[in-house]
């Protein structure tokens, strides 16, 4: 199975500042025939199910604020929150769907 490693485990960011979360896969999740990266990001607030934010590594799900962006290709990916809002406090997970689904361990984002 593909191992997904997220960093950091947690981070505290001031309101309005940038938050950056990294995700590394143990093998490439770029499908050469489609040139798509099979990588998604989810947000999970306390007591709630995960919510899809980003798929194909950089495509924002409908309704997701544009302060959320995804980048990267192959094995290295980043989720960026450009200007942290109070409602963004959550745990964020990356997931690969290139082969049998696996998730990163999660990154907890808090307000500094």
Partner 1 sequence: EVQVVESGGGLVKPGGSLRLSCAASGFTFGGYSMNWVRQAPGKGLEWVSFISSSGNYIYYADSVKGRFTVSRDNAKNSLSLQMNSLRAEDTAVYYCARGQHCSGDSCLLDYWGQGTLVTVSS
Contact residues: partner 1, CB under 8 A = 31, 38, 40, 42, 48-52, 55, 61, 93, 95-106
Which residues, in sequence order, are CB contacts of 58 under 8 Å at separation 6+? 37, 69, 70, 71, 72
Q: Least Å distance between CB 97 and partner 1?
A: 4
Q: Least Å distance between CB 14 and partner 1?
A: 26
Looking at beta carbons only, is 61 or 82 nearer to partner 1? 61
State how far the Cα of 94 lies from the Cα of 98, in Å rounded to an integer: 13
Q: Least Å distance between CB 101 and partner 1?
A: 4
Apex CA 54: angle with CA 50 and CA 56, to 5°? 125
Compute how many other C-beta atoms are within 10 angstroms of the C-beta atom of residue 107.
22
Q: In this structure, what token pair is assigned to residue 59?
A: 């495509």
Looking at beta carbons only, is 81 or 91 nearer to partner 1? 91
Looking at beta carbons only, is 74 or 82 nearer to partner 1? 74
Looking at beta carbons only, is 74 or 103 nearer to partner 1? 103
């Amino acid at each position: 199975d593909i191992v997904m490693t997220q960093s950091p485990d947690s981070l505290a960011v001031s309101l309005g500042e940038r938050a950056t979360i990294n995700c590394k896969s143990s093998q490439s999740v770029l499908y050469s025939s489609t040139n798509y990266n099979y990588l998604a990001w989810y947000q999970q607030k306390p007591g709630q199910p995960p919510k899809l934010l980003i798929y194909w590594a950089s495509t924002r799900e409908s309704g997701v604020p544009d302060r959320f962006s995804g980048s990267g290709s192959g094995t290295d990916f980043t989720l960026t929150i450009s200007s942290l809002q109070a409602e963004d406090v959550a745990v964020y997970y990356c997931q690969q769907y290139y082969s049998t689904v696996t998730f990163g361990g999660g990154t907890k984002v808090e307000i500094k």
